[in-house]
Amino acid sequence: MNCEACDASLIDHAYDELEPEQRRAVTRHLAECAGCAVSYCRLRADLDGALQAAHEAPPVAVRERLRAAVEREFRPTWWRRALAQVRRPVPAYAVVAALVIPAALWFVRESTRDGATAAATAPRVRGYDAAAPPLVDRPIL
């Protein structure tokens, strides 16, 4: 096996995805060629470092700073948020409530206004006592 063929097979060799005879040939070449062995060691170190970095979570402070920076960068402006609120779909019960509530308020207002005008136009009787016997000589005012 030459160095170019070995270099092309190093990643597959690292992930153990080669056929058995091809794997033996790469292993023999790595034992004989110092340059390819160094390349393989660097590749393994890079792969191990990448795997280790993928398993480590950043500290909480770093995540919070990153989250705040992303929110500042991608948060919509106030007028876009207001427009989104206006364009939201309205549930059917909201339409019914928007129609029923003003009608109910109008009905209550009209019913109390009729009662108030009736009481205001009725004549008031002063000095009337229902328990006293009627006096004919005394006029009712």
Give the tens place of pLDDT for each residue, 16-67: 898 999 999 999 999 999 999 999 999 888 888 776 766 677 788 998 999 9
**Looking at the domain assignment, is residue 33 inside a domain?**
yes
Chain CA centroid to CA 137, Å: 85
**What is the spatial distance between Cα 37 and Cα 24, in angstroms, rounded to a whole number?**
14
Average pLDDT over residues 85-91: 79
Chain CA centroid to CA 127, Å: 72
Residue 36 and residue 83 in one domain: no
DSSP secondary structure letter of residue 140: P
**Looking at the domain assignment, is residue 77 inside a domain?**
yes
Q: H helices of 33-122, where? A: 34-55, 60-74, 78-86, 92-121
Domain extent, residue 15, equals 3-56
From residue 55, alpha-carbon distances to 9, 50, 68, 86 in Å are 26, 9, 23, 44
How many structural domains is the chain composed of?
2
Place 15 in a pLDDT band, splitting at 50, 70 and 90.
Answer: confident
**Looking at the domain assignment, is residue 132 inside a domain?**
no
CA atoms 132, 133, 137, 139: torsion sign:
positive
**Looking at the domain assignment, is residue 139 inside a domain?**
no
**Looking at the domain assignment, is residue 62 inside a domain?**
yes
Neighbours of 39 (CB within 10 A): 16
**Looking at the domain assignment, is residue 40 inside a domain?**
yes
**Looking at the domain assignment, is residue 101 inside a domain?**
yes
Residue 90 and residue 101 in one domain: yes
Three-state secondary-structure class, residue 139: coil
Neighbours of 44 (CB within 10 A): 13
What pTM was estimated for this model as a whole?
Answer: 0.38
